[in-house]
A and B are shown apart, each in its own frame.
Chain A
């Protein structure tokens, strides 16, 4: 997981790159690999959810997201949680610059 969070005027811009093959039903049958994709991503700052995504296997491999939100300061920490279809979770964090 790669996170970049940058304060621009009053909004924080977050660029997020996750690691997952994002393999759905059809791709799994075709390539003979297991179904594996991230189903939910949450971004929190100071314990509050600022952005969430419910995701399906038609996002590209190693999904990329950019999103913006207000209300954070430079130096705040953004925490990203993900869970995949098998229940595997990942957490990472970055400081807002």
Chain B
């Protein structure tokens, strides 16, 4: 009985240790949990990237000025820079971090996704370039019908 229990424990531990490694290089949800709990963009950005200086004007955020459906606000991120990490934040929901993209080598900074926004707020993109520098961009999006939670 004891032996069986021991064996099954081993199998569970092995499965748990193998799974995350095979799925991802950096899982920011697991490695930086603080960033995902932060209520404001400023705090979330500091938790993920620190408080180093950021360069403006190199990243373009494509978002509607007025979003009719806050449940799915299309956000496009575009840049000519070679970016390895691109993170998206907003101040419309209880917590700020939305998604962190990573493109290890051959990525092109041309992304699109859809996010929830329950009110009018700023959307912030912070990205890390191959040169190690941080870049950022902010755009205000007006939401006519909120989308978070109903």
The interface of chain A, by Cβ under 8 A from chain B, is 11, 22, 24-27, 30-31, 39-40, 42, 48-56, 58-61, 63-71, 81, 83, 87, 89
Q: Are A49 and B27 in contact (CB under 8 A)?
A: no
Residues of B contacting A53 in the complex (Cβ-Cβ under 8 angstroms): 99-102
Bound Cα distance from A8 to B98, whole angstroms: 29
The interface of chain B, by Cβ under 8 A from chain A, is 19, 23-30, 36, 71-73, 90, 93-95, 97-108, 110-116, 147-150
Give the secondary structure class of B's interface. Answer: mixed
6 residue pairs from A and B, CB less than 8 Å apart = A60-B71, A60-B72, A63-B114, A66-B111, A87-B19, A89-B23
A92 to B: closest C-beta gap in Å: 14
- Of B24, B27, B102, most buried by chain A (CB within 10 Å of CB) is B24
Bound Cα distance from A25 to B148, whole angstroms: 11
> Given A69-B108, A70-B108, does the pair A58, B114 have CB atoms closer than 8 Å?
no
Q: Are B115 and A59 in contact (CB under 8 A)?
A: yes
Residues of A contacting B110 in the complex (Cβ-Cβ under 8 angstroms): 66-68
Residues of B contacting A31 in the complex (Cβ-Cβ under 8 angstroms): 149-150
